[in-house]
Amino acid sequence: MQGKVVIITGASSGIGLACAKEFAARGAYLSLAARSIDQLNILKEELKSKDHRVLVTQTDVGIEQECKNLVDQTINNFGKIDILVNNAGISMRALFKDTELSVLKKLMDVNFWGTVYCTKYALPYLVAQKGSVVGVSSIAGFIGLPGRSGYSASKFAMHGFLETIRTENLKTGLHVLIAAPGFTASNVRKSALTGSGTQQGETPRAEEKMMSAEEVARHIGNAIEKRKRTLVLTFLEGKFSVFLRKIWPSLVDKLAYSHLAKEPDSPFTLNN
């Protein structure tokens, strides 16, 4: 990644923050985006103290014009874009019947449309560099997870969009990676939305038992460098579940239901 210009959305925390540090260590020039400019500036100063080149732009990826501005600022500062990491995202935790439609729309605006907007405006520059478009997705993009209707829908939509972009660019040299980390230790569950749209605040899962964001970032970096199509992390909840879904989908439905029903304060139970 030496000398490559990388845009990372959702770079103020979690996987995005870990990717920023990992890619900087590999020699990349960074264009970092998030809604929290304060957190971005803290990260910028940390990276600049190590002589890394960093641009930060306050960006809500659910707003088209802000995504265009992010791309414009990157070109104005670096003159090119080699890699776009569509990482910004939000989750939810509630049964569909108890979820306000505005919550589903918000998830689609950020998780799906944020990917579409950023990719649309960055695409000409990425094609010129024969670069990479990355979508940081989830196992929820392969398997419909109960209690996560809006999240799964947005990730399934991301997959369909990115697979189409890949096929349309078979002759241009553009690389498209769909990365599905599985359950990762990050703040995405703390900021997950309830059915009413408020943040759940506390994670229902044992974060210390999950793969770290730093390890995920290393895998994503390696997959970009190797120009892989798909990256599915963790074995049981990731690779095995995606494989099993192809040959025994009804069993995966039951396993997903049982697994998520055991979460503390789950919106449904094994007896439902």
Active site amino acids? 151
- d(C-alpha 272, C-alpha 98), whole Å: 15
- d(C-alpha 267, C-alpha 61), whole Å: 29
Instruction: Give the 3-state secondary structure of residue 10.
Output: coil
Q: State which H helix or E strand residue 224 sits in.
A: helix 213-225
- d(C-alpha 27, C-alpha 139), whole Å: 30
- d(C-alpha 234, C-alpha 183), whole Å: 8
Q: Cα 234–197–145 angle (5° rounding)? A: 30
CB 194 within 8 A of CB 266: no
